Amino acid sequence: MKSNTKVLMLFLLIVVLLMGCTDIEDVISKEEAKQLVIEKRTTENTDGRVEIISIEIKSNSYYVEWENKENTEWGIDRVTKDGEVKMVEATIE
């Protein structure tokens, strides 16, 4: 292999690794994560209003705790760097 090819391959490898290591806060803000959860929970259930209780970062994802007092629903959703909202836990009393 030519030296130029090796350098190019090394550069591409470094770029790919750095892209995978991007912090979630560099891609999605806390406010955007909150809004994504509110939209998802409002779309799935039109009874009541969803309120955000807390938000924290774990494993490079946002974990958003939410509550809907009017239908006694509570849960935690995980928001990924891609903006995907996944339910972690939920209860309805």
Per-residue pLDDT, averaged over 39-46, amounts to 82
Query: What CATH number labels 25-92?
Result: 3.10.450.630
Q: Quick check: 9 pLDDT over 90? A: no
* Helix (H), strand (E), coil (C) string for the chain: CCHHHHHHHHHHHHHHHHHHCCCHHHHCCHHHHHHHHHHHHHHHCCCCCCEEEEEEEECCEEEEEEEEHHHCEEEEEEECCCCCEEEEEEEEC
pTM score > 0.95 for this model? no
Q: Quick check: 39 pLDDT over 80? A: yes
Domain residue spans of the chain:
25-92
Per-residue pLDDT, averaged over 87-93, amounts to 91
What share of the chain in percent tops pLDDT 70?
83
Per-residue pLDDT, averaged over 3-22, amounts to 66
CA 37 from centroid of its chain's CA atoms: 9
